[in-house]
Structure 1
Amino acid sequence: MGDRWQYLAVLAACVVVTAPLEFLGSGVYRRLGTLARALLPVLAVFAAWDLVAIARGHWSFNEAFTLGVVLPGGMPVEEVLFFVVVPVCAVLTYEAVGALSRRPADRRERVGRG
């Protein structure tokens, strides 16, 4: 794999590794409206933060490791995807852990009623 695909490959790996968690939790991908409402503020704040840092010369991206698709302001498309993929993976993980941690309590409750 060429160096230009590395950032995108890492993001894809994050999605692939956490995708099965969709079936353990409450269905993050099945609630796209709720997911979008959670993601949009994160995307807006961190994209603005990056754009300011890029404009001031405090932050840059090595073009050798990105596809070269740069949005207005100098931000590579992979960075915007990062602000979507990482929070989605975090929400998937959070929901799956929550669902798994509730299961033993649900079982004890059912056994106690039995």
Structure 2
Amino acid sequence: MRHLLYLAVLLGCLAGALWLEPILRVGVLRRWRRLLLTLLPVVVVFTAWDLAAIAAGHWTFDPAQMTGVLLPGGLPLEELLFFVVVPVCAVLGFEAVRTVLARVGRGDRR
């Protein structure tokens, strides 16, 4: 079961943030093109960075905590998912704060 640890952490992050979409109606997933444009540079830059670090021998991953699915260049699938999940959670959190502050500012008590 330890080989699913990285995925479990990512799922925990999503569980902690995805509820903001339907409950607070932040609209992040509804504006999927905007989200994709936000994620694209993050995924590209950090994937390239990780691949360079792996190739240079500066960065490794504990195979006992991974599924073993490796992408080209030796990048674990979980690491690529990390570059998607964490920014999505951050955007959801940011938009939730903006939404709540806007509602409080105008006296909306939903």
TM bucket normalised to smaller? over 0.9
Map 1:1-114 onto structure 2 (within 5 A): 2-23=1-22, 24-107=24-107
Q: Unaligned regions of 5+ residues in structure 2, if any?
A: none
**CA contact 2:20–2:26 (8 Å) conserved in 1:** no
Runs of 5+ in structure 1 lacking a partner? 109-114
C-alpha contact (below 8 Å) 1:39/1:84 kept by paired residues = yes
Decide whether the 8 Å contact of 1:53 with 1:59 is kept in 2: yes
> Percent same amino acid among aligned pairs?
53
CA drift at 1:25: 4.8
Tell me if structure 2 keeps the 8 A contact 1:15–1:89. yes
Deviation track 1:40-96 (CA, whole Å, cap 9, x = no partner) reads 000000000000000000001110000000001010000000000000000000000
TM-score (norm 1): 0.90
Using the alignment, how far apart are the partners of 1:87 and 1:27 within structure 2? 15
TM-superposed CA distance for 1:104, in Å, is 1.7
- 1:26, distance to aligned residue in structure 2 (A): 2.8
User: Could you list the runs of 4 or more consecutive aligned residues of structure 1 that deviate by over 3 angstroms after TM superposition?
Assistant: none
Q: Which moved more, 1:86-95 or 1:23-32?
A: 23-32
Code of the residue aligned with 1:17 in structure 2: it is G
